[in-house]
């Protein structure tokens, strides 16, 4: 396993279309995160899974966004009825849950991202 894998790397879509992105985390990592990054900004948290359970969704995630992580392995992020404001880099990250109080080894590793352009 060479790291977090995301595909596609680039997606151009017309406004109003639906898109789906895939993330394959590092195999032993049980936590998976989606972030969105726009030009000149740091990544913003969208949602988080521990195994197959989606435990938090950001207020940034409108009803048009949905994420799944069936069987606690890969995850998909779907955007319905895309808008131009959805254009961004969508980053996936994974990490290993540690015992409370232990931080070492819990750092998140990021994939290469999917760059979405809505025209």
Partner 1 sequence: EDKVVQSPLSLVVHEGDTVTLNCSYEVTNFRSLLWYKQEKKAPTFLFMLTSSGIEKKSGRLSSILDKKELFSILNITATQTGDSAIYLCAVKANAGGTSYGKLTFGQGTILTVHP
Residues that bind partner 1 (CB under 8 A): 4, 31, 33, 35, 40-45, 48, 50, 55-56, 89, 91, 95, 97, 100, 103-104, 106-113
Residue 23: name the closest of 47, 41, 58 by CA. Answer: 47
* CB nearer to partner 1: pick between 21 and 111: 111
Q: Is 86 strand, coil or helix?
A: helix
Contact criterion met (CB below 8 Å) for 97 and 30: yes
**Cα–Cα separations (whole angstroms), residue 26 to 6, 29, 56:** 11, 6, 20
- Bridge partner list, 79: 19, 65
Query: Please, what is the minimum distance in Å from the beta carbon of residue 81 to partner 1?
Result: 27
* CB nearer to partner 1: pick between 14 and 39: 39
Query: Please, what is the minimum distance in Å from the beta carbon of residue 16 to partner 1?
Result: 27
Query: Please, what is the minimum distance in Å from the beta carbon of residue 30 to partner 1?
Result: 10
């Amino acid at each position: 396993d060479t790291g977090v894998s995301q595909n596609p790397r680039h997606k151009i879509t017309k406004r109003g279309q639906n898109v789906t992105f895939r993330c394959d985390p590092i195999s032993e990592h049980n936590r998976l995160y989606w972030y969105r990054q726009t030009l000149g900004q740091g990544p913003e948290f969208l949602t988080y899974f521990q195994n197959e359970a989606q435990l938090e969704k950001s207020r940034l995630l409108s009803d048009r966004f949905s994420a799944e992580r069936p069987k606690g392995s890969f995850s998909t992020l779907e955007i319905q009825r895309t808008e131009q404001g959805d254009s961004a880099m969508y980053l996936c990250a994974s990490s290993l849950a540690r015992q409370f109080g232990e931080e070492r080894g819990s750092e998140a590793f990021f994939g290469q991202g999917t760059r979405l352009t809505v025209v």
